[in-house]
Amino acid sequence: MGRGGTWTNVDGFVKKSPGNDGKLAINVASGEVVIRHPETWQDVLVDFTLPEPNVEIVRLLLAYGAPVTKVELRAARQSNPNYGLLRILESHQRDPLPRPTPL
């Protein structure tokens, strides 16, 4: 349910995040920072393929106040549409009243 966006790398190229391929670049975990110019992207990040959305988790996020914007709706429509999930998101966007907190 992230908002997505763009980022600019050191070469000045602007890219979408997450990309259209369903992959999200995540920095490699490390306890210390070494400032150097890496030779390859593999030196500094790993690719992680996002799993299919879990409808129950999405419902919980919405119940606790996650917003639904045009960005989320567009992403839900473009990536192998799960029509049940899409209906939930559209309904939540139309009716932004707070939902009761689940127990």
pLDDT tens-digit profile of 21-35?
Answer: 666 666 666 555 555
The pLDDT value recorded for residue 102 is 60
Q: What are phi and psi of 19, to 5 degrees?
A: -75, 170
Instruction: For residue 57, give Cα distances in angstroms to 8, 40, 93.
Output: 31, 36, 17
Flag whether pLDDT at 85 surpasses 60.
yes
Please, what sign has the CA dihedral across residues 33, 2, 51, 103? positive
